[in-house]
A and B are shown apart, each in its own frame.
Chain A
Amino acid sequence: EAGVAQSPRYKIIEKRQSVAFWCNPISGHATLYWYQQILGQGPKLLIQFQNNGVVDDSQLPKDRFSAERLKGVDSTLKIQPAKLEDSAVYLCASSFDLAGGREQFFGPGTRLTVL
């Protein structure tokens, strides 16, 4: 079974530039998550989708971050404009649905460096 795919794997940009990350979840998984993991910390949930609808985006900095999952499959996360503190690994995960206790499967992540 193919896992969660993410691209790019690495990205270096300067502050105030824009960047976008792409995620393809496991086939058949209705729920998709984006996490931000700063070096030395645990992942922090940014946004959760159920099919193409947003379930929770309470921790997404909406002034600069946006995410979409238009057809209920792939998803993109965008940062515009980027700040130095956005340097982190951005992880995408998926689960079969959002019933409690569903295992989340994580992609390899995109490591973002903002200079």
Chain B
Amino acid sequence: SQQGEEDPQALSIQEGENATMNCSYKTSINNLQWYRQNSGRGLVHLILIRSNEREKHSGRLRVTLDTSKKSSSLLITASRAADTASYFCATDRAGNMLTFGGGTRLMVKP
């Protein structure tokens, strides 16, 4: 079963706009990670946020975590065509075993 569920399933925006993706999960976690997957580079780790953190930044990425609502969001600012990919949240309950959600397919139009 997949613990995380991303919303929306698909998102299409213009270059330069911001993209927000949401993830909900069901059980308590140690940390939550976001990954990107495209045909060129495969599945790549983007950012990790621990259960005791509320917000984290990395370049144009901003991740929030609300453990009371069991939800997380990924914001990509000033999107580029190269950001076109599928984005997955993955929860780690213990031992670095990840449970991935179904993903959000992001299309950034030039």
The proximity string for A residues 97-115 relative to B, scoring 1 for CB distances below 8 Å and 0 otherwise, is 1111111111111000000
By the criterion CB–CB under 8 Å, are B48 and A103 in contact? yes
Q: Which of B66-110 contact A (CB under 8 A)?
A: 88, 90, 92, 94-103
Contact B43 A106 (CB under 8 A): yes
Using a Cβ–Cβ cut-off of 8 Å, how many residues does chain A contribute to the interface with B?
A: 26
Cβ-defined contact, A42 with B88, below 8 A: yes
Q: How large is the interface on B (under 10, 10 to 19, 20 to 34, 35 or more residues)?
A: 20 to 34
Which residues of chain A are within 8 angstroms of B28 by Cβ–Cβ distance?
none
- Residues in chain B near residue A95, CB distance under 8 A: 96
- The complex places the Cα of A105 from the Cα of B41 at a distance, in Å, of 11
Q: A44 near B: Cβ within 8 Å?
A: yes
Q: Is A56 an interface residue (CB 8 A)?
A: yes
Q: Which residues of B contact A93 (CB under 8 A)?
A: 43
Closest Cβ of chain B to A47, distance in Å, is 10
- 1/0 per residue, CB under 8 A from B, across A17-58: the answer is 000000000000001000000001111110010000001100
Decide if A73 is an interface residue (CB 8 Å cutoff). no
